[in-house]
A and B are shown apart, each in its own frame.
Chain A
């Protein structure tokens, strides 16, 4: 009967299909004229308001990757351990013993710019759902944040509220926030902060779930919070540039309820454990539309829903509103017909509402009913497979050519090393992030073995000797100055961090934060950065198993620094391999792996001294990188290493100071170099690691490094006296109390925040 029904032209006072065409109303939802024509072709008629809404969100960048798809294809996504690559809620990688790690990173940049507390909180909520919808128990959260200059009160407000929002959600749901990074740069992120959240989970192989709708007649079940009018067009909003009128789009931001999500999490994992589910998918961006359409498409089935059965928080909601709502803490399930009661029993136990809202059907029609009328009838594959794909024009930006002539190493060579150290240590980018991470519960679940503040966090896996190391990294300045090198470095550094914690890198998830792809210079940045990242992933054997693309990160026409953020997960084989950056014992010998070149383009020193960046960033030789990482990991596994610290922003000087501060120890170091002292100490050359080892292990590590072709120099010893002393070519250039350095480092952010007293919400 129903199949012969025709689609209604409009519901209530909605514009008619003709009005939508004549007045080009589809443009307000983000569809172009060409895309609208394509929709008409797929339907063989004019779409009604609900249908236009559905196409517009499904074809938004956020859901369809229409601007990035051809570029994303360059990433390696497969490997012997990969159980699930991109395309599901999160990537899955085997870690042995029948277990797997599940992880993904996602952006919530635009909502956080408008309403930082809720924007950040719901970003965390969304990424957690992506992980547990795979059947995994979430065990850790990380985040990667970018803000403008903290001297701007609005930036302080955004920073404070974003951190509070992340803390609110993660702390309440009881998943430790174990790591991440925060970078401040007024030239890039002033009006467009970046808020990227990552979640890591663990599952048993047989519990792996998929977002599919299969089995004709099987019920489609809605679980969780009611649907309200919040967040309508969030996915489209996420794919637009921020402008003055963005403030007026506030209703697009949703309010998160971590308590509800905790119940949803426990209920879903109980369903997984009992093996009831056929398919499960989070209602995240584009809400009910995206989850149901993708499940049908992946299952190669049709799907019907009766929207009257969808739990609703507000009265008089239209089909358009129900379908596009981005209310949080909702899941869509498909189970075998007849098992509805089992779902209901679990939901009742956890105090959650659930409702059968539809059925899986034969064929490929995606049909929605509302008050007895057919309100949408769409071939489901056209929503996903036929989404438009754009290859944009790319052009080398002028600034890139000009930078070839700059020599920051010469401009900075005369600075006094001690003055430079004080300045860099007290910069908010190098300074301790304690102000941030002490607001996050990083110890709940009692598995955190390396807490925030070291190179990578480590979470142990109960009942095994294993652990998971994890890190997020991305340096927008490097990528801006040279996207290929910057892309390589993002992957290489995150892997190096994980290796320094005693783990073997397994794979990455990435969050690609860029400006508008419609600008040829930006498209060039995206394309080249992905080239660099893909190369690094191949060499380091860390496939990309998932991620997210966030484009149109611009304010007033100025794009952010191209900021691909890499979330890396590594496997610690044995608990005794877990290593931190803190110096441990007096008399331990300090070794420097890797070579130092005159590379100060985009460095922290350049930024704190000149207030800007220029030149070329450090170069990253991937074969050399691999050799360094293999050396470090082998040395750790041999039990020779007491501490390991990646040399990155701030160079050798900062790395040594941090190892001293974290270990409450001093160090006496002598370096030989042809470079100017300040250049040698603050160069950010890649593929370098500082180790401290027992004196009797020095020869072994040297031999190992030589066999791998890695330069390894003995540069000093750890001392009891808490003082950092550095000689260069026999001349003392730095002598400073560690307590003093520690104070500069610890107080950098608290001092910058003191001006702020607006901590109310």
Chain B
């Protein structure tokens, strides 16, 4: 399974994601510069965290226009797995691959901690190695992770089982319905504020995040022949 990690100017979790794939899955993974337009040789895309283009206009707003994003859209349309973590989630929302938007944390401060997260849907390619209702501990680190969508969208997310992760315990940013991560209708595009790549070894404080990567590989192995 070949992973692509697009790098925008200002990305800073790019190599953390690359290392996680290498260390946990041992599968091939390559950085892809934001000018590149071809992702056809990859099976999955990880949009990393960071501050793409300084996040100066709105988080993820400029990255969305990067040449590589057209290729990410194609990959998503083709049913390949696309995951956006933190800034990557913001880019996915800005580019319309996921509904809603991420706003400034309601307490106005950046928040970095290891946060309990509840698995709300384990029927996705990203969560099949978890149990429904399982609470895992995954680091968060963001100033604008306050997920917002209107009521109609929220109703739709619920109806389609698109809410994949919710914050357990205190909501760290004021997000609607404690949402920490959502997927698209088809289930192959996931956006999440928490950083699974920061929780893959015990010495990091938690290794709960490694199962997200294992889920992706498991799903791909079970489904790639059919594609």
Is chain B in direct contact with chain A in the complex (CB below 8 A)? yes
With a CB–CB cut-off of 8 A, which chain A residues contact B51? Answer: 171-172, 174, 258-259, 262
Cα(A695)–Cα(B220), bound, Å: 49
Q: Is the CB of A440 within 8 A of B20?
A: no
With a CB–CB cut-off of 8 A, which chain A residues contact B9? Answer: 259, 262-263, 350-351
One digit per residue, 1 when the CB lies within 8 angstroms of any chain B CB and 0 when it does not, for chain A 449-476 equals 1010000000010100000000000000
Q: Is the CB of A439 within 8 A of B198?
A: no
With a CB–CB cut-off of 8 A, which chain B residues contact A263? Answer: 9-10
Q: Is B110 at the interface (CB under 8 A from chain A)?
A: yes
Cα(A7)–Cα(B195), bound, Å: 59
Q: Is A443 at the interface (CB under 8 A from chain B)?
A: yes
Give chain B interface residues in 114-152, CB to chain A under 8 Å. 139, 141, 143
Q: Is the CB of A262 within 8 A of B13?
A: no
With a CB–CB cut-off of 8 A, which chain B residues contact A259? Answer: 9-10, 51, 53-56
Nearest chain B residue, comparing its CB with the CB of A266 = B9
With a CB–CB cut-off of 8 A, which chain A residues contact B20? Answer: 446
Cα(A258)–Cα(B112), bound, Å: 19
Q: Is A727 at the interface (CB under 8 A from chain B)?
A: no
Cα(A350)–Cα(B112), bound, Å: 28
Q: Tell me the minimal C-beta distance from A581 to chain B in angstroms.
A: 15
Give chain B interface residues in 163-209, CB to chain A under 8 Å. 195, 197-198, 200, 203-205
Q: Is the CB of B16 within 8 A of A445?
A: yes
Give the number of chain B interface residues (Cβ < 8 Å): 31
With a CB–CB cut-off of 8 A, which chain B residues contact A439? Answer: 109-112
Q: Determine chain B's interface SS by DSSP, over half rule.
A: mixed
Cα(A445)–Cα(B15), bound, Å: 7
Q: Is the CB of B203 within 8 A of A449?
A: yes
Interface band, chain A: 20 to 34
Most A-side CB within 10 Å, residue of B19, B50, B55: B50
One digit per residue, 1 when the CB lies within 8 angstroms of any chain A CB and 0 when it does not, for chain B 64-96 equals 000000000000000000000000000000000
Q: Is B218 at the interface (CB under 8 A from chain A)?
A: no
Q: Is B113 at the interface (CB under 8 A from chain A)?
A: yes
Q: Is the CB of B56 within 8 A of A443?
A: no
Q: Is A438 at the interface (CB under 8 A from chain B)?
A: yes
Q: Is the CB of B205 within 8 A of A451?
A: yes
With a CB–CB cut-off of 8 A, which chain B residues contact A759? Answer: 108-109
With a CB–CB cut-off of 8 A, which chain A residues contact B109? Answer: 164, 167, 439, 759
Q: Is the CB of A444 within 8 A of B141?
A: yes
Cα(A351)–Cα(B53), bound, Å: 11
Cα(A448)–Cα(B111), bound, Å: 17
One digit per residue, 1 when the CB lies within 8 angstroms of any chain B CB and 0 when it does not, for chain A 163-174 equals 010010001111
Nearest chain B residue, comparing its CB with the CB of A262 = B10
Give chain A interface residues in 373-420, CB to chain B under 8 Å. none
Cα(A172)–Cα(B141), bound, Å: 11
With a CB–CB cut-off of 8 A, which chain A residues contact B110? Answer: 167, 171, 439-441
Cα(A172)–Cα(B110), bound, Å: 11
Q: Is A257 at the interface (CB under 8 A from chain B)?
A: yes
Q: Which single member of B54, B111, B204 contacts A443 (CB below 8 Å)? A: B204
One digit per residue, 1 when the CB lies within 8 angstroms of any chain B CB and 0 when it does not, for chain A 109-145 equals 0000000000000000000000000000000000000
Most A-side CB within 10 Å, residue of B195, B200, B203: B203
Cα(A441)–Cα(B143), bound, Å: 10
Nearest chain A residue, comparing its CB with the CB of B35 = A349
Q: Is A575 at the interface (CB under 8 A from chain B)?
A: yes
One digit per residue, 1 when the CB lies within 8 angstroms of any chain B CB and 0 when it does not, for chain A 238-263 equals 00000000000000000001111011
